[in-house]
Amino acid sequence: MTVIVKKYGGTSVSSISKIKKIANQIAVEKKESNDILVVLSAMGDTTDKLVQMSNKSCKDPEPRELDMLLSSGEQVSISLLSLILNDIGVKATSLTGWQAGIKTNSQSMSARISSIDVKRIKSEFKKNSVVIVAGFQGINNKGDITTLGRGGSDTTAVALAAALKASECQIFTDVDGVYTTDPRICSNARKLDLLTYEEMLEMSGLGSKVLQLRSVEFASKHNVPIRVLNAHKGNNFGTLIKKEEKKMEGATISGIAFTKDEAEIMIKGVKDQPGVAAKILGPIGDAKIEVDMIVQNVGSNGLADFTFTVSRNTLKNAMKVIEKNKKIMSYESVSSKNNIVKVSIVGVGMRSHAGIAGRMFKCLAKNKVNIRMISTSEIKISVVIDQKNLEIAVQALHNEFKLNKK
């Protein structure tokens, strides 16, 4: 019998009426004799409210107790869906993460799944039950409840799909699928029917919030097809994310991603000699600050300029680290800029098509968009530009690569 895994996010289960709608959809599909496993997030903004409650309760919440508190949100949603399904004549059983056999390491608030024992789930399938599992949680080897971090329900769903060898993992959201770019920025953005794991990984890492990055990594590792669907629309194909096939190289560019969470730091007058990058980035790394793009310009008189980007919320701390380590880094001056954005074009077709970078840069120049920094990978080209040019750049690139057409 075919196993289908369905995951619904917080906005999809934010009210009883929405949960009833999901129950009715599941009831129809259950008649096709599939084994159905449903993974749910907490209702609406429940998790945010629980975090607020913990902050009001004490100044420094104990991580273990936070895991216990935050995991309670999903238990509400799974029990409600189970109650509703049983009420309309569909046998259903709700399971917490640990009841579903999800074992993790002991990293509170961001635990990693180590193994899944699906015996309990399979026994419920044999009873013809729809199994409803709480996302975002598991249990460690001490028997303590753990949580997987923001967006962890996506990872729960994909991990269960892999363990059960499901035909696909369906992720239900408030959008019709993954688009060529953000429709709020580009009015002629088009829904994509197909993406590779690599493309989705790049887009998730570059600001696309449709899927959590860890869930895509897990799907790629275990070859689990993911389908992104609209929870409020029936009979829609959505976007299928799967392993790359030869025919998928036809499209040169699949999408344009961008992130506004960028800040630039420029250190001027550092010694142009081996080891200078380590002297700068070493203390930055020790402070747990992630660095994205890096450019080192050769200057004159044995001096150079070193520029890199960090996320905006770490900029202040990064500047403190640099000023504190001025003697070690040995620079003349340091400045920062936070009104920048990163825009990226993504597509597996880049592997077999030359001249993509040239087209991108020519397009931006034609639209008077200045490029501050550039980075590339096998299927991605990213540029840092001034934030005021974001919409112009995205729309221009979308038109240049004809992403509004199939």
In this prediction, residues 115-119 reach a mean pLDDT of: 97
Rg (CA), the chain: 24
Split at pLDDT 50, 70, 90, the class of 406 is: confident
Whether 13 and 38 share a structural domain:
yes
Distance of alpha carbon 397 from alpha carbon 361, whole angstroms: 10
Distance of alpha carbon 349 from alpha carbon 108, whole angstroms: 40
| Alpha carbons within 13 A on the beta-carbon side of 263 | 17
Task: Please indicate, yes or no, if residue 362 is contained in any of the structural domains.
Answer: yes
At 228-238, the pLDDT tens digits run 999 888 767 89
Task: Please indicate, yes or no, if residue 254 is contained in any of the structural domains.
Answer: no
What pLDDT sits at residue 207?
67
Split at pLDDT 50, 70, 90, the class of 1 is: confident
Distance of alpha carbon 44 from alpha carbon 35, whole angstroms: 27
Six token digits for residue 40? 């749910």
Whether 314 and 301 share a structural domain:
yes
Q: Choose one of 110, 140, 174: the last residue of a domain.
A: 174
| Alpha carbons within 13 A on the beta-carbon side of 406 | 4
CA dihedral (320, 324, 329, 333) positive or negative: positive
What pLDDT sits at residue 349?
86
Whether 136 and 32 share a structural domain:
yes
Whether 292 and 376 share a structural domain:
no
Given a cut of 60, whether residue 364 has pLDDT beyond it is yes
Given a cut of 70, whether residue 250 has pLDDT beyond it is no
Q: Following CA atoms 37, 41, 44, 49 in sequence, which dihedral angle do they give, to the nearest 10 degrees?
A: 150
Least reliable range by pLDDT among 107-116, 234-243, 272-281? 234-243
Q: Choose one of 117, 142, 174: the last residue of a domain.
A: 174
Task: Please indicate, yes or no, if residue 209 is contained in any of the structural domains.
Answer: no
Q: How many domains does the chain have?
A: 3
Which percentage of the chain shows pLDDT scores above 70?
98
What pLDDT sits at residue 248?
54
Distance of alpha carbon 404 from alpha carbon 385, whole angstroms: 23
Split at pLDDT 50, 70, 90, the class of 221 is: very high
Whether 107 and 168 share a structural domain:
yes
CATH number of the domain to which 327 belongs: 3.30.2130.10
Whether 99 and 13 share a structural domain:
yes
Q: Considering only CA atoms, which of 295, 266, 257 is closest in space to residue 390? A: 257
Task: Please indicate, yes or no, if residue 205 is contained in any of the structural domains.
Answer: no
Distance of alpha carbon 405 from alpha carbon 399, whole angstroms: 10
Q: Following CA atoms 129, 132, 133, 135 in sequence, which dihedral angle do they give, to the nearest 10 degrees?
A: 160
Task: Please indicate, yes or no, if residue 218 is contained in any of the structural domains.
Answer: no
Distance of alpha carbon 327 from alpha carbon 281, whole angstroms: 14
Q: Choose one of 338, 354, 382: the last residue of a domain.
A: 338
At 43-65, the pLDDT tens digits run 999 999 999 999 999 988 899 99
What pLDDT sits at residue 246?
64
Least reliable range by pLDDT among 33-37, 86-90, 332-336? 33-37
Burial 222-255 (b: 16+ CB within 10 A, else e): eebbbbbbbbbeeeeebbbbbebeeebbebbbbb
In this prediction, residues 77-94 reach a mean pLDDT of: 98
Whether 330 and 393 share a structural domain:
no
Which percentage of the chain shows pLDDT scores above 90?
80
Query: Which 3 state secondary structure label does DSSP give 207?
Result: coil
Distance of alpha carbon 70 from alpha carbon 145, whole angstroms: 10
CATH number of the domain to which 117 belongs: 3.40.1160.10
Whether 394 and 295 share a structural domain:
no
The side-by-side arrangement of strands in the sheet containing 3-8 is: 92-95, 130-134, 35-40, 3-8, 168-173, 226-230, 239-242, 194-196
Distance of alpha carbon 90 from alpha carbon 79, whole angstroms: 14
The residue segments making up the domain with residue 386 are 341-400
Task: Please indicate, yes or no, if residue 232 is contained in any of the structural domains.
Answer: no
Whether 378 and 333 share a structural domain:
no
Whether 314 and 385 share a structural domain:
no
Split at pLDDT 50, 70, 90, the class of 213 is: confident
Whether 297 and 396 share a structural domain:
no
Whether 68 and 127 share a structural domain:
yes
Distance of alpha carbon 361 from alpha carbon 356, whole angstroms: 9
What pLDDT sits at residue 31?
87
Least reliable range by pLDDT among 90-104, 135-149, 170-184, 311-325? 170-184
Q: Considering only CA atoms, which of 311, 161, 263 is closest in space to residue 222? A: 161
Task: Please indicate, yes or no, if residue 381 is contained in any of the structural domains.
Answer: yes
